Structure 1
Amino acid sequence: MKKYAIIAFVILFSLAGCKKETATQTTKTEMPASDSNDTSVESASAGVANNTIMEAMKSMMDRMHQMQKKGNIDYDLAMNMKEHHKGAIDMATAELNSGTDEKLKAMAGKMKEAQQKEITSLDKMISKFNGQTSNYDPSKTDNGLGKAIMDNMQEMMRLPEATGTVDKDFATMMIKHHKDGIKMGEHILQYSKSAEFKTMTMKMIADQKKEIEDLEKWLSANQ
């Protein structure tokens, strides 16, 4: 009997140890997520927004690069400018959705509105230019407009590195975008045959130079 009593005691002791270990494991599993996990989620969200801004630039360049040129100066330049404007709208949308600086978001809203209005004007001009006589060879990139377009595309591909925050990435990328757009505008003023197109372009250049100045001031104040 004494022997059986010892065996029963050992079994009970082992079962008690198992229950204690199971309870400990259950407690660990049911612990709520820590604040550090919340920070990781916020960082991931910021990363997605940063990627959205970068992808907007890359998608814009891909569309412009793949665009079939018709060989009419005004049509091809207007189509290029339209795609360039769409890139700005995508970046402004990313800032409005994920940015945190209210002043910069207000700037993004104004830029988006201005670019959308200009796209409406460009669409009307594109309808007029479509079907017009070919007046240059887009395959020749060693001189003239063909070279100007090619050089501009190569410059667009030199993107600044991401800064790690949505607001700074937007400001940095939009400055780059506008500088490339101004260069495109200079080509329009040099090669376009349309007085209407040139007038719109002169206003666009002036507006974007002012926006570059405002963005650079914001960056300087938010280093």
Structure 2
Amino acid sequence: MARPVKSRKVCRLPVCWDFYGNGGSGSGILLTVEEYETIRLIDYMGLSQEECARQMDGSRATIQALYTEARKKLARFLVEGASLKIEGGNYILCEQKAGGKGEKKMKIAVTYENGQVFQHFGHTEQFKIYEVEEGKVVASAVVDTNGQGHGALGGFLAEQGVDVLICGGIGGGARNALAAAGIQLFGGACGDADAQVASFLSGNLNYDPDVMCSHHGEGHGEGHHCGVHHGGDHGCGNHGCH
């Protein structure tokens, strides 16, 4: 009897699922969600294949095979100008797994200012931390960062036992620090902090995985360099191949 294929853990779904080329030959390229996740974690987040395997709850050999196949498909997409669709696969979303089977409490942190999601991670002076059990908030508290900023904030959140961070803009160095600490990141969120947590728990959080502070570095330059890029309907019309 064949062994069942284990679902791989995916922590962020794509913002765009379809990419259109210039009428390249063939029926288009299909990239599975797990293959996409290996590209996001290794090429975008800068994780090693071993770190990626731990996060996706798979063997290194399996992750290496998924990553190699994904790179081949992306090369075809770029060279041939074919269309590309992200679809299907065998995966489970991180946030779906977190609330089930009587697991330990989840802690969600939100960059916080006056009830809203503060938009610059490196400059945040407060986090609101929510304790969640069985998919419901059972307690929350606002904590001060005590002047810590930038890279130190990842360690601060780890010390608080945080599992998930919801924030506005965030720099690449902080992304890597959070990933290394095993903290799931949902950047590009805005609005009322309590409402964003409720949306996350219902699986409807509107976030932007591509949000990034300017190349000057997190916390350097004016706050407006750290932007949130919501496109409304996320139609991703500018992401095609022209």
TM-score band by shorter chain is under 0.3
Between Structure 1 and Structure 2, which shows a larger proportion of strand residues?
2
Higher helix share: 1
Report the TM-score, using the length of structure 1 for normalisation.
Answer: 0.23
Q: Which has the higher contact order (CA 8 A, sep 6+)?
A: 1
